[in-house]
Amino acid sequence: MSPTTLSAGPDHGHVTFLGAGPGDPGLLTLRAVEALANADVLIAEHDVLDVVRTHARAGVALLDTDPGPPSAPTSASSASSAATSADRYPGPGTPQLTVVDGASTTVGAPAVRDAAHLVMEAARGGKRVVRAVSGDPGLDTYATEEMLACAAAGVPFEVVPGVATAVGVPAYAGVPLRDEQGADVRFVDARTASDRCWAEVGVSDGTVVVSATLETVAAAAGELVAAGRKPDTPMTVTVAGTTTRQRTWTATLGTLAQTLKQAKVLPSPEGGRPVIAVVGERSAAAQRDQLSWFESKPLFGWRVLVPRTKEQAASLSDQLRSYGAVPHEVPTIAVEPPRTPQQMERAVKGLVTGRYEWIAFTSVNAVKAVREKFEEYGLDARAFAGIKVAAVGEQTAKALIAFGVKPDLVPSGEQSAAGLLEDWPPYDPVFDPIDRVFLPRADIATETLVAGLIELGWEVDDVTAYRTVRASPPPAETREAIKGGGFDAVLFTSSSTVRNLVGIAGKPHNVTVIACIGPATAKTAEEHGLRVDVMAPEPSVHRLAEALADFGLRRRAAAVEAGDPVTRPSERRPGARRRRSTT
């Protein structure tokens, strides 16, 4: 039954046991996303919450069941309104689960086993509860216990399967578990395996998938050898599977301990890091060289600094993730209303009364400014009827379409003011009843478009729709990473992003790859002492991301050809700072 059809009243709650998969948020099923969107209470361990919380609705109560002290509310308003919380579920030895009006709240729990009590209390209170677990609920011991508790108490529940860790991680590591001969596959949890279990898999010649920790996997390999497996049996070990922290080592049962030692794999200070080991003749080294699709992505694991606002960076960050990168968005400018709004108000009224033949949008922020003014006056997209609309590029056009307006003109070539002018028709008094263009822009916009439109015979109302000011500095840890070489690359999409980033956070370290959207931005970067490594073939943020991916691919290929380990730029620490490029 879908959560949308459930009637959650005082005496009727519902629990969804949901598999969040092995770590990659993209592996959540459509059914899981639907359940999360309808949840009143979301209960999970910390790592799992990070995977699922973005799909939860506003106001959901988030409960982190990892051990530790209660955490602070996730929003500033939560702290001030904690005394007026809407719902509480106190229980013996457990923290309070609090739903704060209009905000999500995260509360710590002293032990994972307390999750069963919290699930039951929330469900009995008439809430739609999602209990999210790593991998698949059917393979989680605690989830099974909680399902039995629901059944015993008459609480309705459902199960949304997830990608099992023991299956998903090998797939991301490029390690197939079966071949055309249909070899037997056994799954072993090294933490609970008995001597009898090791003996059974030891005499088998099939593939064995072992769930262990990085600190105990070598001992598990020893158990298999002791049980009868040959020491030269190939195996792979993957840590942080399906995430951009994933790393896989190829060895044999007999050489694994030495392989990990040579790789300088250190014990985890917080305890055993989960790993998936795959053992078998038909599932390891030779095939992995050809099938390692995830870790061989061009920017795999790269931390890429994107100095743009979250709204501007969304599609760019998605593109970077598709290349295996970890984007980090840092706004370098803040958008504020104009100091004197009267000019904008007159222009919007003129738009409605038929003063303009065209309106031209040169940024997503301009679309947002006009849309906000429309909403202030109770207008919507219908006010554009009879007016021709131009957009400077694809992103601006998408913002207009989201507003309900399909642009009449988008540059066919370069996505810039110059490209827009290339396609803009000259004013014709026969076909154009009105000769005026409304141009809502930033206060620091260049005059290229205005001058070009006037030259084409148009009258232009150049209106300040918003102001751009330098953003506040990012957190100290981000500033330290920028200056200390913690980022592998930074994407500069304009000269102002160069100046503002250096102004609020400092100059990127010399090991950081500098990628610029065009010659003007590259010149500004060089003027600030930076060496430009990558430049987009055309002024588009997506072509810039493609150019960085090509750079990463060439860098990886060169390392492989030379027989060197593939490293990220931030893993190199040359003795001297590199010189600024003179080319």
pLDDT of 17 strictly over 50: yes
Amino acid identity, position 30: L
Supply the pLDDT for residue 431: 87
pLDDT value, residue 82: 29
Amino acid at 385: A
Identify the pLDDT of residue 271. 56
Rg (CA), the chain: 29
Sequence-distant contacts of 350-355: CB under 8 A, at least 24 apart? 350/438, 350/461, 351/383, 351/384, 351/387, 351/438, 352/379, 352/383, 354/386, 354/434, 355/434, 355/436, 355/438
Nearest CA among 388, 431, 380, 425 for reference residue 406: 388
C-alpha–C-alpha distance, residues 522 and 542, integer Å: 17
User: How many CB atoms are closer than 10 A to CB 523?
Assistant: 14
Q: Percent of the chain scored above 90 by pLDDT?
A: 57
The pair of structure tokens assigned to 435 is 């000769």
**Mean pLDDT, rounded, for 33-43:** 95
Give the separation between CA 97 and CA 118, rounded to whole angstroms.
Answer: 8
Q: Which residue has the higher pLDDT, 356 or 394?
A: 356
| Higher per-residue pLDDT: 298 or 116 | 298
Percent of the chain with pLDDT over 70: 84
The confidence band for 311, taking pLDDT boundaries of 50, 70 and 90, is low
- Position 89 scores a pLDDT of 31
pLDDT one-digit tens code per residue, 417-474: 888 999 999 999 888 889 999 999 888 767 889 999 999 999 999 999 998 888 889 9
Read off the pLDDT band of 281 (50, 70, 90).
confident
**Token output for 335:** 């958008």
pLDDT one-digit tens code per residue, 86-95: 233 333 333 3
Residues in the chain, overall count: 583
* Whole-number Cα distances in Å, 49 to 42, 45, 107, 268: 8, 6, 12, 21
- The pLDDT assigned to 91 comes to 33
**Residues near 314 by Cβ (< 8 Å), separated by ≥ 6?**
none
What's the pLDDT at 286? Answer: 57
Residue 12: per-residue pLDDT: 66
Could you list the beta-strand ranges (E) of 330-417: 333-336, 358-361, 388-391
pLDDT band at 8 (very low <50, low <70, confident <90, very high): very low
Tokens for 541, please give them: 């943020």
- Residue 106's pLDDT is 44
- Summarize the confidence of residues 185-212 as an average pLDDT: 89
- Of the listed ranges 237-251, 260-274, 393-407, the one predicted with least confidence: 260-274
CA-CA-CA-CA dihedral for 276, 277, 280, 281, to nearest 10: 110
Q: What are phi and psi of 15, to 5 degrees?
A: -120, 130
Q: Which amino acid makes up residue 7?
A: S
Q: Tokens for 316, please give them.
A: 């760019």
Please give the average per-residue pLDDT across 505-534, as a whole number: 95
For 137-162, what is the mean pLDDT? Answer: 92
Q: For the chain, how far is it from start to end, CA to CA, in angstroms?
A: 64
Confidence of residue 99 (pLDDT cuts 50, 70, 90): very low
Of the listed ranges 153-167, 340-354, 522-536, the least confidently predicted one is: 340-354
151 pLDDT more than 70: yes
Distance in angstroms (rounded) separating the CA atoms of residues 64 and 71: 9
Mean pLDDT of 520-543: 93
Per-residue confidence at 230, pLDDT binned at 50, 70, 90? very high
Cα gap 360→438, rounded to integer Å: 6
Give bridge partners of residue 213 from the DSSP assignment: 274
Please tell me the predicted confidence (pLDDT) of residue 313: 65
pLDDT over 50 at 110, yes or no: no
SS (H, E, C) 275-316: EEEEECCCCCHHHHHHHCCCCCCCCCCCEEEECCCHHHHHHH
CA gap 11, 168 in Å, rounded: 39
Of the candidates 367, 366, 372, the one whose C-alpha atom is nearest the C-alpha of residue 468 is 366
Higher model confidence: residue 459 or residue 202? 459
Residue range 113-137: average pLDDT? 88
pLDDT, residue 480, reads 95
Question: Residue 565: which pLDDT band, with cuts at 50, 70 and 90?
Answer: confident
On whether the CB atoms of residues 540 and 556 are closer than 8 A, the answer is no
Q: Sign of the C-alpha dihedral, residues 216, 218, 219, 221?
A: positive
> Is 274 exposed, middle or buried, given 0-12, 13-18 or 19+ CB atoms closer than 10 A?
buried
Q: Is the pLDDT of residue 583 over 60?
A: no
Q: What is the pLDDT of residue 142?
A: 86
**Mean pLDDT taken over the chain:** 84
| Model pLDDT, residue 283 | 57
| Alpha-carbon span 345 to 565, nearest angstrom | 60
Say what the pLDDT of residue 341 is.
Answer: 87
Q: What is residue 11's predicted lDDT score, i.e. its pLDDT?
A: 56
Does 15 score more than 70 pLDDT? Answer: yes
Q: Please enumerate in sequence order all residues whose Cβ is within 8 A of that of 322, keeping only pairs 6 or more positions apart, or say none.
A: none
* Verdict on whether the full-model pTM lies above 0.85: no
Predicted confidence at residue 264, as pLDDT, reads 83
CB environment 475-510: b (16+ within 10 A), e (fewer): eeebbebbeebbbbbbbbbbbbbbbbbbebbeebbb
DSSP 73: P
Please tell me the distance from the alpha carbon of residue 498 to that of residue 521, in angstroms, as a whole number. 8
Q: What is the reported pLDDT for 580?
A: 44
pLDDT band at 4 (very low <50, low <70, confident <90, very high): very low
Question: Average pLDDT for residues 513-521, to the nearest whole number?
Answer: 94
Longest dimension (CA), the chain: 92
- Rounded mean pLDDT, 37-65: 91
Q: Quote the CA–CA distance of 138 and 115 in Å, as a whole number.
A: 17
Give CA–CA dist 521/581, Å, rounded: 14
pLDDT band for position 495 (50/70/90)?
A: confident
Identify whether the C-beta of residue 38 lies closer than 8 Å to the C-beta of residue 3.
yes
> Do the Cβ atoms of 272 and 213 come closer than 8 Å?
yes
Q: Is the pLDDT of residue 573 over 70?
A: no
User: pLDDT at residue 494 above 80?
Assistant: yes
